[in-house]
């Protein structure tokens, strides 16, 4: 447990000093807003509002891919990953520390992106803010759990930047299905449907357990 907290603290301090991951993710997701503007030209505001949940999650997921790739690229310098593998105790705690740091950073980017999307596409996110935050947290938990496990593998292969999306995206479609369904309801002012929330909770639980246990075999050298 202490290992997890130490790694979380280390990653957050590193990020605070360099600020490169958050800035890169944020810039990328803001560019996505522009991409959507040009890819879906001449839409009426209400049309864009209907599309917004899907667009928002698209921007969030692609920005996360960027951040997750960086989360282990950092550890490759000076062979820090082997150092991490020597930490006492179950390696699952290393996973939890890395995943928690990614969760914090990605959530921060998500909040800022949502704010900008609300301005660009004239969305009211103030009223459903609490529910939206809950749905986003559930979705992001699934993304960071599976993403951290697969990023730890992808970073030590050839073409690592390419491989992570190919490995991770198929595992994220269930998350996307539940999260977008819930976000559509929340943005229309309704409570999120029970099935979607249930699906997200099940995925989060399964991904957390699989990644926690699987991480033991990933670092083993």
Partner 1 sequence: MTADIRTSEPLTPATADLPVLERWTGRARRPLGIALLGLCALYAWTVVSAPLDSVQGVIQKILYVHPPLAYGAYLGFIITAIAGVLYLRNGREEYDRLALSSAEVGVIFCTLMLITGPIWGKGTWGRWWSWDPRLTVTLLLWFVYLAYLLLRSFSGGGARTARFASIYGVVGAVLIPLNYYIIEIFGGRGMHPENLERSSLGDGMGLPFVIGNLTLALAFIYLLIGRWEVEGLRAASARRTAAGGGGS
199 scored as a contact of partner 1 (CB under 8 A): yes
Name residues whose C-beta falls within 8 Å of residue 167's C-beta, 6 or more positions apart in sequence: 150, 153, 154
Q: Which of 17, 42, 170, 186 binds partner 1 (CB under 8 A)?
A: 170
* Minimum separation from the CB atom of position 185 to partner 1 (A): 13
Q: Which of 6, 85, 201, 214 binds partner 1 (CB under 8 A)?
A: 214
The sign of the CA dihedral 98, 103, 108, 113 is positive
**Taking Cα atoms as reference points, which of 159, 125, 130, 139 lies closest to residue 64?**
139
* Minimum separation from the CB atom of position 136 to partner 1 (A): 20
**Nearer to partner 1 (CB atom), residue 134 or residue 193:** 193
Q: Which of 196, 200, 204, 212 binds partner 1 (CB under 8 A)?
A: 196
Q: Which of 59, 94, 106, 171 binds partner 1 (CB under 8 A)?
A: 171
206 scored as a contact of partner 1 (CB under 8 A): yes
Q: Which of 3, 101, 109, 146 binds partner 1 (CB under 8 A)?
A: 146
* Cα 63–chain centre separation: 7
DSSP class per residue in 43-88: --HHHHHHHHHHHHHHHHHHHHHHHHHHHHHHHHGGGHHHHHHTSS
1, 93 contact by CB (below 8 A)? yes
DSSP class per residue in 29-40: HHHHHHHHHHHS
Which residues contact partner 1 by CB under 8 A?
A: 146, 149-150, 153-154, 156-159, 163, 166-167, 169-171, 173-174, 177-178, 181, 195-196, 199, 202-203, 206, 210, 214, 217-218, 220-221
């Amino acid at each position: 447990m202490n290992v997890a907290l130490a790694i979380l603290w280390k990653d957050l301090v590193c990020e605070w000093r360099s600020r490169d991951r958050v800035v890169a993710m944020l810039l990328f997701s803001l560019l996505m807003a522009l991409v959507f503007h040009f890819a879906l030209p001449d839409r009426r505001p209400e049309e864009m509002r209907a599309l917004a949940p899907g667009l928002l999650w698209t921007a969030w997921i692609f920005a996360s891919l960027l951040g997750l790739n960086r989360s282990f690229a950092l550890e490759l310098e000076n062979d820090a990953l082997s150092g991490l593998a020597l930490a006492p105790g179950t390696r699952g705690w290393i996973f939890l520390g890395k995943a928690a740091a990614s969760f914090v950073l990605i959530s921060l980017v998500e909040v800022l992106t949502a704010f900008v999307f609300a301005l660009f596409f004239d969305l009211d996110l103030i009223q459903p803010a609490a529910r939206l935050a809950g749905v986003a947290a559930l979705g992001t938990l699934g993304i960071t759990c599976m993403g951290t496990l697969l990023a730890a593998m992808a970073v030590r292969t050839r073409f690592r930047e390419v491989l992570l999306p190919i490995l991770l995206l198929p595992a994220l479609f269930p998350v996307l299905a539940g999260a977008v369904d819930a976000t559509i309801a929340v943005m229309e002012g309704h409570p999120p449907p029970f099935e979607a929330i249930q699906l997200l909770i099940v995925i989060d639980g399964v991904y957390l357990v699989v990644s926690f246990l699987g991480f033991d075999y990933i670092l083993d050298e």
